[in-house]
Chain A
Amino acid sequence: MPRTEVRRDLKSAATSHKGDRIFNRSITTAAFTALVVLAGIAIFLGFSAIEALRTQGLDFLFTTEWSVEQEDPKAGIWGMLYGSVLLSVIGLVIAIPASLLLSVFIVFLAPRRLAKVMTNVIDLMAAIPSVILGLWAFYLLNPPAEEWQFLLNKYLGWIPIFQNESGNFNGTPFIAGFVLAIMMIPIITSVSREVLGRTPPDLINAAEALGCSLWTMLRYVALPYGRGGIVGGIMLGLGRALGETIAIFFVLKLIFETNWYNIIESGGGSVATLIVATFGEVSGPYELNLLLAAGFFLFVGTLIVNVIANLIVQRTGRMQR
């Protein structure tokens, strides 16, 4: 005769205790609050975006124009979207090598006391408000940077990105990207220093016993080990750069044309800067709505960049031979 089984669903230990139950619920609520806020922002901006697309069509995304005070208002933010990415790329090209060299120096070369001081100074750099950085760049960085760009153009002008026909080296994407790099360096350095410092001593020992140099140890042991973390740090820096507003406002000459690659030619774009530059003298609710829509697409663009970055991390994370 078969035995009859009575199946009972067992509550997990975590929820059968009253204190745990309250704690778990509070945490879950807090976690969902973050999602709700994010969704709220997305929906609020999304409505503006729909409105903008309804009146301007896809031209809003793929043309570059901003003349909204006429009878038939025209608005297109392509140059700004593209500019945001271009400035961030310039920033990354400068910030990534600088940050990696800095963190390698701090972790593997600097005497302990110097390493500590440098770590603190670099962390402090991250705390400089961007408006201060913008003012500093406008008054102090701009004049020498014009000289650098002049030299770049003189000696490397045959490379298309260093062409300059106007002779004006003020308010260029290069200088804006340079300021972004200064803002990204503390973030990327801080994360990669942390990650490199966690390379297991066992592996470093193994590499040293195999006759490594500092370079080969970094190349084959420390960097592969820390790659995920370092890319994460770069993404954090990139996140800051894509949304950076006021520092760029001071140093970039905002123009409604697409500056594709002439990074040392005066004039460029950036979505966040477009918003802050236009917001103060906005002509009416329609233009305001267009600005919010621009914000929405900056938001989407940042998301896309993050997704692509994640894919890159996954792809390069595969096994090396």
Chain B
Amino acid sequence: MSTAEYEGDVEVLEGEFADKRDVGPIELESRDVSVWFGQRKVLEGVNIACPKKTVTALIGPSGCGKSTYIRTLNRLHELIPGAALAGSVLYEGKDIYDTDVDPVHIRLKIGMVFQKPNPFPSMTIRGNVLSGLKLSGMKRDGHDEIVEQTLTAAGLWNEVKDRLDSAAGELSGGQQQRLVIARALAVQPHVLLMDEPCSALDPASTLKIEETIRELSKEITIVIVTHNMQQAVRVSDYTAFFLAAENEPGYVIEQGPTTDIFSNPRDQRTLDYVNGRFG
């Protein structure tokens, strides 16, 4: 695919999302979130609000805490020994770190797709899609419909509908990544967190995932970590730029509508980063 076509996409996005700005309730919001691994502080005072049914991109150089941040949004961070957090993460207005909140409930509402495609190798394609129901003990009727519906939403149905009972490991990397997106969708999350979902994929697969993300954002809220700035432009409505000095915790330099961050940033460092002068 040529650059010209990508640029065309960007313009379409701007038109499509123009009406979404400054409207819609906030679905997920972090307030003054600081994060530690043991004694080491890796994030400092992060405030980001993600409006409902939009895509928020987190960009920044390696090691600035983007992946750590996204893992605080569905309470996966706490599974690392020595992990600690200050501040609060509000989902539908309630702090997910309150003592009376069940982390399992949060992880079902706020799903996650990881950097490396990680389908369960011992399960079939169908088994993988339905695995969230088994793992969480969630009851949903009509398994066949769920499989078809989520695989369609993930843009994989036509490629696998005739071999749902074959091993997930037989799929290509891009297909596996769309399979795990379907798997995450099967438990009906309201938010989907994606940690560099395309970094292990080829350009054609990346394009397919991006199409999937744009489709999904009509229904759910998406937060995506990406190293690929063109990708942030192509898929996101809002962007937050993270930066960390050496051995210092990372923080958000600038955030706002994606078009502003990329075309008219307020901070010189943002301008340098989005123009590829470092990182």
Contact = CB atoms under 8 A, between A and B. Distances in A.
Given A202-B116, A217-B135, A209 B111 contact: yes
A211 B134 contact: no
B124 interface: yes
Given A209-B76, A209-B111, A211-B105, A203 B137 contact: no
A313 interface: no
A202 B116 CA distance: 8
A225 B169 CA distance: 13
A220 B118 CA distance: 14
B21 to A, nearest CB: 30
A221 B187 CA distance: 18
Interface string B177-207: 0001001100100000000000000000000
A224 to B, nearest CB: 4
A261 B135 CA distance: 39
Given A202-B116, A319-B123, A211 B104 contact: yes
Given A202-B114, A216-B136, A217-B135, A209 B124 contact: no
Contacts of A202: 114, 116, 118
B112 interface: yes
Interface string A289-321: 000000000000000000000000000000111
A225 B135 contact: no
B76 A320 contact: no
A225 to B, nearest CB: 6
Contacts of B126: 321
A213 B137 contact: yes
A206 B127 contact: no
A216 B135 contact: yes
Interface residues of A, number: 22
A203 B118 contact: yes
A221 B132 contact: no
A320 B135 contact: no
Given A216-B134, A217-B135, A206 B123 contact: no
B226 interface: no
A112 interface: yes
Interface in B58-82: 74, 76, 79, 81
Contacts of A200: 118
B131 interface: yes
The B interface is mostly helix, strand or loop, or mixed, namely mixed
B157 interface: no
Contacts of B90: none
Most buried by B among A112, A205, A225: A205
Given A321-B124, A321-B127, A216 B118 contact: no
A220 B131 contact: yes
A210 interface: yes
A211 B118 contact: no
B108 interface: yes
A219 B39 CA distance: 34
B65 to A, nearest CB: 18
A213 B79 CA distance: 12
A319 to B, nearest CB: 6
Contact of B120 (A112, A203, A213): A203
A210 B132 contact: yes
A255 interface: no
Interface in B125-181: 126-127, 131-132, 134-138, 165, 167, 180
A208 interface: yes
B120 A206 contact: yes
B116 A216 contact: no
A216 B127 contact: no
5 tightest A-B CB contacts, nearest first: A211-B136, A209-B112, A212-B135, A210-B132, A202-B118
Given A209-B111, A211-B187, A224-B120, 19 more contacts: A202-B114, A202-B116, A205-B114, A205-B118, A206-B183, A210-B108, A210-B132, A210-B183, A210-B187, A211-B107, A211-B108, A211-B132, A211-B136, A211-B138, A213-B135, A213-B136, A221-B120, A221-B135, A320-B127
25 contacts: A200-B118, A202-B116, A203-B120, A206-B119, A206-B180, A209-B76, A209-B112, A209-B114, A210-B108, A210-B111, A210-B135, A210-B136, A210-B184, A211-B104, A211-B108, A211-B138, A216-B135, A217-B135, A220-B120, A221-B120, A224-B123, A319-B127, A319-B167, A320-B123, A320-B127
